Amino acid sequence: MLSPLKKLLSPFFTADDAQPSFDEAHGLQLATAVLLVEVMRSDTQVAAEERAATVAALRTRFALSDDELARLLAQAEHTAQNANDYFRFTSAMNEQCTQAQKIQVVELMWQIAYADGHLDAHENHLISKIAGLLHVTHGEYIAAKLHAKAATSLGN
């Protein structure tokens, strides 16, 4: 019965289950990228503008080369397709990020959602759910949304 759970978690832990098998920086990058990719994938189609906004958000958040960025995005897309929930990603961020950094990630999610010029109800719900898992207050969530909206054509 525990075998499927161990198989699911095995990429993230060593044999003694005590230490993560990847360094914290990469784990945080992947967790952030997966959440951003989930916003990109949450409406009915992935618009080119949303993909470009996701790449720009990852470039803004992390100092990565083009090759590293492409690998991270591919890994995040694969991981997002196979993920059952967001807890393992948000819990890593809750452990390693400041409140300001988590708010910045929520704002980046809003930027991706607004990138195609249309806010889908699924995008809105997903960002709200993830913001809650990141312990971002409603006021911080709304401020991030308004800031991202003001930076787009929807803000006019």
Q: What is the per-residue pLDDT for 44?
A: 73
User: Is 104 contained in some domain?
Assistant: yes
User: Is 81 contained in some domain?
Assistant: yes
Does residue 31 register a pLDDT over 50?
yes
User: Is 2 contained in some domain?
Assistant: no
What residue numbers bound the domain in which 107 lies? 22-151
User: Is 111 contained in some domain?
Assistant: yes
Burial of 75 (0-12, 13-18, 19+ CB in 10 A): middle
Burial of 62 (0-12, 13-18, 19+ CB in 10 A): middle
User: Is 138 contained in some domain?
Assistant: yes
Q: Checking phi first, is residue 117 left (phi over 0); if not, alpha (psi -120 to 50) or beta?
A: left
CA distances from 70 to 64, 73, 94 (A): 9, 5, 25
Check residues 45 and 24 and name the one with the higher pLDDT: 45
Does residue 119 register a pLDDT over 70?
yes
CATH code: domain of residue 128:
1.10.3680.10
Q: How many domains does the chain have?
A: 1
Please state, as a whole number, how many other Cβ atoms lie within 10 Å of the Cβ of residue 112.
28
Q: What is the per-residue pLDDT for 154?
A: 63
For the segment 76-86, the average pLDDT, to the nearest whole number, is 92
Does residue 18 register a pLDDT over 80?
no
Look up the pTM and report it. 0.80
- What percent of the chain lies above the pLDDT cut of 70? 81
Check residues 139 and 15 and name the one with the higher pLDDT: 139
In this structure, which amino acid lies at residue 144? A
User: Is 11 contained in some domain?
Assistant: no
144 within 8 A of 107, measured Cβ to Cβ: yes
26 within 8 A of 34, measured Cβ to Cβ: no
Q: What is the per-residue pLDDT for 91?
A: 95
User: Is 115 contained in some domain?
Assistant: yes
| pLDDT interval class at 27 (50, 70, 90) | confident
